[in-house]
Amino acid sequence: MINATLKQLSQQLTAGQVSAVELATAYLDRIDALNPALNVFITVDREKTLAEALAADARRAAGQAGLLTGVPIAHKDIFCQQGWKTSCGSKMLDNFISPYNAHVIEQCQAAGLVTLGRANMDEFAMGSSNENSFYGAVKNPWDVHAIPGGSSGGSAAAVAARLAPVATATDTGGSIRQPASHCGVTGIKPTYGVVSRFGMVAYASSLDQGGVMAQTAEDCALMLNVMAGFDERDSTSLERTREDYTRDLAQPLAGLRVGLPREYFADGLAGDVGRIIDNAVAELKKLGAEVVEVSLPNTQLSIPAYYVIAPAEASANLSRFDGVRYGHRADEYKDLVEMYEKSRAEGFGSEVKRRIMVGTYVLSHGYYDAYYIKAQKIRRLIANDFAAAFAGCDVILGPVAPTAAFNLGEKSGDPVQMYLSDIYTLSVNLAGLPAMSVPAGFADNGRPVGLQIIGNYFGEAKMLNVAHQFQQVTDWHSKAPAL
């Protein structure tokens, strides 16, 4: 049962083979056993979870169940959830119990999904290794010495360790794809605007996008059906006709044009990761896909552009954490300015402070044009690169990260090295495109490696189709770590 996919759990619930309470209890027991070692969850609340499960069973009994009613889920601790601590991985919000629900949470509750707990993450979603969480890093279930990836490390590890069949997550510069890759699970970041940001604690508003991780592409499609949709409370939410993201899963891949950006296979890509991607491409060729080389010439510029734009937006987004209305406030201060200074100095970790300072600097008088405006121009160039590439292909394939998961502590002293590892994921957010990570093999050190699939705008169904077909002929996604 613990290895079951969403689809299988849905069938078992519908058939009455298992109840939501039984399912929730099984997962909670496993969390109790494994969480102390893996540090996946920030908050677990058995009572609340079982109350939700009981309600789900009542819905089933009343004949009002949806496909996923009673299925347990882990929520990244970035989505505001009424009555639950929503810490965003920060000391600043360690005392914050949300009085309201994010749109994503509302949608999950409407579908009858049962909250298992709140997944650990890099503080305010800033990080690639999960080492920036106030609650300590999540351990990679495949190797507790390895990073799980970030910022949605808790979500990825929860699915990988089978502590939850599915987990919500967010992706600002790779925060779904990179941990999914490092933990060997399937993750999707939709087109910017598909999932409402209402109630998602903001890091970089123009880049943040909610998404999901599960074992399979099919499960991701089912979840996207729940999470996507217009929300008038988010001005950047897109008003579009509802889609069934499962509709194209079974389509054969014959004639599919797969673009391989030459810049993604250049220097810096580890040999073992490169071979895994090559093998994955070979599998897709066998399924009838044809491969074309494409170019994304401004890929290198995505790092400086991202690390200007994201901190700039973050520096303003995080100003609300001032100790005045909620969140951490210093115990002692002599005046208002000192209250701000001490509360923020104590409440934020070092990476968050670094990005606030960078962001404040690039927006400052005299530097704005040289940094912020320039970065926005690069952003446009990057979007243009993708537009040109998609003129000749249906999806773009490549690695998610240059290497498999590195060791905890390996790069934490060198932020620039850490930033450079985001090279293959950042440009997707800058362009607002959808992308996935699909388990594709194991590196020489035995750690999982994901294949990145980048779709054109609103190409989620196409990406999911490619991923699903790949998963029909491979079994990387169903491998679980021995725990």
In the chain, how many H helices and how many E strands? 16, 11
Question: Could you confirm whether 151 is annotated as catalytic?
Answer: yes
| 136 in contact with other proteins (CB under 8 A) | no
Task: State the CB neighbour count (10 A cutoff) for residue 361.
Answer: 14
| 100 in contact with other proteins (CB under 8 A) | yes
| 307 in contact with other proteins (CB under 8 A) | no
CA distances from 409 to 141, 220, 270, 291 (A): 16, 31, 20, 38
Count of residues of this chain found to bind other proteins when the rule CB under 8 A is applied: 44
Question: Could you confirm whether 175 is annotated as catalytic?
Answer: yes
| 88 in contact with other proteins (CB under 8 A) | yes
Q: Are strands 166-171 and 186-189 parallel, antiparallel or unpaired?
A: unpaired
| 122 in contact with other proteins (CB under 8 A) | no
**Contacting other proteins within 236-255 (CB under 8 A):** 236
Question: Could you confirm whether 76 is annotated as catalytic?
Answer: yes
φ/ψ of residue 62, rounded to 5: -85, 0
The position carrying tokens 């030459």 is 262
CB-based contact 73:83 (threshold 8 Å): no
| 50 in contact with other proteins (CB under 8 A) | no
Buried residues in 135-168 as b, exposed as e (16+ CB within 10 A): bebbbbbbbeebbbbbbbbbbbbbbbbbbbbbbb
Give me the amino acid identity at 384: N
| 322 in contact with other proteins (CB under 8 A) | yes
Which of these ranges, 108-116, 161-169, 229-237, 420-428, lies near other proteins under the rule CB under 8 A? 229-237
| 201 in contact with other proteins (CB under 8 A) | yes
Q: Catalytic one among 10, 19, 155, 175?
A: 175
Nearest residue (CB) to other proteins, 200 versus 404: 200
Least Å distance between CB 281 and other proteins? 35
| 96 in contact with other proteins (CB under 8 A) | yes
Q: Which of 162, 165, 133 lies closest to 149 in space, CA to CA?
A: 133
CB-based contact 400:276 (threshold 8 Å): no
**Contacting other proteins within 338-377 (CB under 8 A):** 340, 360, 363-365, 368, 372
- The catalytic site residues sit at 76, 151, 175
Binding positions for other proteins, rule: CB under 8 A: 79-80, 86, 88, 93, 96, 98-100, 102, 197-202, 204-206, 232-236, 312-313, 315-316, 318-322, 324-326, 336, 340, 360, 363-365, 368, 372
